[in-house]
Homo-oligomer: A and B are copies of this chain.
Amino acid sequence: MPDIRHRVVISAPLESVYEAVSTKEGLSEWWTRDGVRGESSEGSRLGFFFGKPEPAAVMEVTRLSPAGRVQWSCVEGAEEWVGTKLAFDLAEQEDQTVVLFSHADWRGASEFMAHCSARWAYFLLSLKSLLETGKGTPFPDDLRF
């Protein structure tokens, strides 16, 4: 099954990057400020809001390892997202952190998947900006494309 995979290098300690991808506060500063609700703990669910009353996606948190791994399974949202698996794998490299992001197990390589691929790269650069400059570009401050 086709996957989206992006690699981004961030000039920040692994612990800081981990906090930004594993806590509701962190996620709200680079992905969506409109709302991250629920609980970020293994087995719990996180809902992500993008300007509508219902969440655009609900993720089950399947792995939270401070050593540098966050995994989600999408349980609600766009039809093509349900059943997909997302992961942030972090690795220290000198004084930087390498983020290997994947959004895997899509049923097919659709145009929507290509849209999401570019969107994920954009938001990963928002994550980088947040950690390096203190300011990300989460929804609704994001560039639309």
CB pair B124–A118 under 8 Å, yes or no, is yes
CB pair A117–B4 under 8 Å, yes or no, is yes
> Would you call the interface of chain A mostly helix, strand, loop, or mixed?
mixed
CB pair A8–B128 under 8 Å, yes or no, is no
Chain B proximity of A90: nearest CB distance (Å): 13
CB pair B7–A114 under 8 Å, yes or no, is yes
Cross-chain pairs A/B with CB under 8 angstroms, 21 sampled: A2-B2, A4-B117, A5-B109, A5-B113, A5-B114, A6-B115, A6-B118, A6-B121, A7-B111, A7-B114, A7-B118, A8-B145, A10-B145, A100-B111, A100-B114, A101-B114, A117-B121, A122-B125, A125-B143, A125-B145, A128-B145
Binding site for B on A (CB under 8 A): 2-10, 100-102, 109, 111, 113-115, 117-118, 120-122, 124-125, 128, 143, 145
